Amino acid sequence: MMNKKTLIIGAGGVGNVVAFKCAMNSKIFGDIILASRTKSKCDIIAQNIKEQTGIIMQTVQVDADSIPKLKELISNTSASIVINVALPYQDLTIMDACIHMGVDYLDTANYEHPDTAKFEYREQWERDEEFRKADIMALLGSGFDPGVTNVFCAYAQKHYFDEIHSIDILDCNAGDHGYPFATNFNPEINLREVSAKGRYWQDGKWIETAPMEIKMVWDYPEIGPKDSYLLYHEEMESLVKYIKGLNKIRFFMTFGQSYLDHMRCLKNVGMLGIKPIKHKGQEIIPMELLSTLLPDPASLGPRTKGKTNIGIFAKGIKDGKPKTIYIYQISDHEKCYEEVLSQAVSYTTGVPAMIGAKLMLEGIWSGKGVFNMELFDPDPFMEELTIQGLPWKVMELGANEDLVVPEERV
Ligand code: NDP
């Protein structure tokens, strides 16, 4: 049998975790090649992995905006799979290169055009036919959210419900990095997401809200009550399509007051703009400048303390009776750093990316075309989560119980 070759594109916080975790499962991933725009970042990751695991990986420079360059890279490396953990802007070029070269593809975030802060699967789903024709598979959104949250929904549907009526996806990061303002993953992608209008789905239609208009206080196990704001998040688009009986889905993320105050000021002075402006005769994009000024998310690892808790809260019907469950995963920033030199936000994204790719290489999740996570049997993925460092829990609640704290109790 030919040795497998795994090509990872992107050497940021998430790329670091994927590279570490693939090296820790090197029997499955075979030879690992780490490619990114800045080769020196790949070299640092490869050196750390060599010291910690003894695994040696090849590093390569690539411009993932260029399909010819990507084709050349895939051809030179004879990759069996491409794990895309660069930025969402590169999804389509990498997918197209995979189609041309007949190689399986996986990512963790849906395509975004650099000039429009709009998240949708349309252009990636439209490539389904081409993936089928090329006899290859694309797995979309194999991070935590999207990713594990989709798998949690599929698991709830398979084991706990005949019909799920409502889902709240709850994303809590109670970590503290000590900076007045920093983002836990790529600043540009993060700020575009949280400054956009909110949206949720109810009774067959999308309902739009102003950014951060809806706040609820959820009581997160092992963390406590936290202000949580309704955002639009990409996994809702596929869950609405694939979870039967669903009539409401919302997504909440926690934010502290300091983060929100900074965001408001930056927005008011135009620093979140994504259109070029003229500055001393030069064109600059305010959001890109801000991204350069903010701490590199990869540098937050050694300073971040505290926990994350991400899960799904689902209500529905089983055997004719109402049922409520909460499936969640708690990670500790310092423990993640100890293991792979990254904080929990990168860890909880990188581990599921590795697991998705592992199941594809093993043929446990297989198919031809473009797939979202909830289309596959959730059980093998759930098992791997526990084995690979993301153990989860299920809490069964009374039909009318929930974890929402009335504000006066906080
Ligand atoms: P980073 O900004 O830390 O890393 C991105 C990496 O991609 C950098 O190494 C960057 O290179 C590289 N890159 C950017 N453009 C190109 C290009 N044109 N060609 C080659 N390489 C390029 O981001 P993160 O690691 O935090 O995030 C990675 C991905 O994970 C993003 O898509 C993000 O949206 C996604 N994500 C998903 C989550 C989930 O739960 N599903 C949660 C968090 C993140 P350089 O170093 O030169 O800038």
Q: Residue 13 C-alpha to ligand 1 middle, in angstroms?
A: 7
Q: How many CB atoms lie under 10 A from the CB of residue 247?
A: 14
Start-to-end CA distance of the chain, whole Å, equals 60
d(CA 327, CA 310) in angstroms, rounded, equals 9
Round the CA-based radius of gyration of the chain to a whole number and report it. Answer: 21
Q: With cut-offs at 50, 70 and 90, classify the pLDDT of residue 257.
A: confident
Q: Whose CA is nearest to atom 44 of ligand 1?
A: 185
Pairing, β 392-397 against β 321-332: antiparallel
Of the CA atoms within 13 Å of residue 44, those in its CB half-sphere come to 15
Is the CB–ligand 1 distance for residue 185 below 6 Å? yes
By most ligand atoms within 8 Å of CB, the mutation choice from 90, 94, 189, 193 for ligand 1 is 189
Q: What whole-number distance in Å separates Cα of residue 304 and Cα of residue 175?
A: 6
Report pLDDT digits (tens) over 125-155: 999 999 999 999 999 999 999 999 999 999 9
Does 41 contact ligand 1 (Cβ within 6 A)? yes
Query: How far is the CA of 124 from the CAs of 92, 139, 358, in angstroms?
Result: 7, 10, 22
Q: Ligand 1, residues 34, 60, 87: which to mutate, most atoms within 8 A of Cβ?
A: 87
pLDDT of residue 2: 61
Model-level pTM? 0.95
Tell me, what's the pLDDT at 407? 65
Q: 46-63 pLDDT, tens per residue? A: 999 999 999 999 999 999
Mean pLDDT score, 307-335: 97
Q: Which atom of ligand 1 is nearest to the CA of 348?
A: 40
Ligand 1 centroid from CA 346, angstroms: 10
Burial of 275 per CB tally in 10 Å (0-12, 13-18, 19+): exposed
Q: State the distance from the centre of ligand 1 to the C-alpha of 23, rounded, in angstroms.
A: 19
Return the ligand 1 atom nearest residue 16 CA.
25
Q: Which residue in this structure is represented by tokens 């350069």?
A: 292
Structural tokens at position 366: 């297989």
282-313 pLDDT, tens digit per residue, is: 999 999 999 999 998 878 889 999 999 999 99
* Letter string b/e over residues 119-144, b meaning 16 or more CB atoms within 10 A of that residue's CB: bebeebbebeebbeebebbbbbbbbb
pLDDT at 185: 80
Give the position, in ligand 1's atom list, of the atom nearest the Cα of 349.
40
Read off φ and ψ for residue 222, nearest 5 degrees. Answer: 65, 0
Residue 196 has a pLDDT of 86
pLDDT of amino acid 52: 96
Q: Residue 409: is its pLDDT beyond 50?
A: no
Atom of ligand 1 nearest to the CA of 15: 25
Residue 213 — φ and ψ, nearest 5°? -70, -35
Output the six-digit token pair for 65.
């905006």
**3-state helix/strand/coil string of 198-214:** EEEEECCEEEEECCCCC
Pocket flag, ligand 1, residue 298 (CB < 6 Å)? yes
Q: H or E element: which one contains 166? A: strand 163-173
Burial class (CB within 10 angstroms; exposed 0-12, middle 13-18, buried 19+) of 153: buried
410 pLDDT tier (thresholds 50, 70, 90):
very low
Predicted confidence (pLDDT) per residue in 29-38, tens digit: 999 999 999 9
| Per-residue model confidence as pLDDT tens digits over 66-103 | 999 999 999 999 999 999 999 999 999 999 999 999 99
Q: What's the rounded Cα separation, in Å, for the pair 297 and 174?
A: 16
Among 326, 328, 327, 348, smallest CA distance to 337 is for 348
Ligand 1 pocket check for 145: Cβ under 6 Å: yes
Task: Say if CB 325 and CB 156 are below 8 A apart.
Answer: yes
Residue 326 scores a pLDDT above 90: yes
- Rounded to the nearest 5 degrees, what angle is found at the Cα of 391, between the Cα atoms of 296 and 167? 85
Question: Quick one: CA torsion of 203, 209, 211, 217, rounded to 10 degrees?
Answer: -60
> 147: Cβ below 6 Å to ligand 1?
yes
Q: Which two tokens stand for residue 258?
A: 């300091």
| Encoded amino acid at 45, one letter | I
Is the CB–ligand 1 distance for residue 36 below 6 Å?
yes
Q: In this model, does residue 203 exceed pLDDT 70?
A: yes
For ligand 1, the distance from its centroid to the CA atom of residue 22, given in whole angstroms, is: 17
The C-alpha atoms of residue 101 and residue 74 are separated, in whole angstroms, by 7
| pLDDT given for residue 193 in this prediction | 81
- Ligand 1 and 352: CB distance under 6 A: no
3-state DSSP of 62-107: CCCCCHHHHHHHHHHHCCCEEEECCCHHHHHHHHHHHHHHCCEEEE
- Report CA(182)–ligand 1 centroid distance (Å): 16
Give, as one character, the DSSP assignment of residue 108. Answer: S
Mean pLDDT over 333-343 rounds to: 96
DSSP classification of residue 312: E
Ligand 1 pocket member 14 (CB < 6 A) = yes
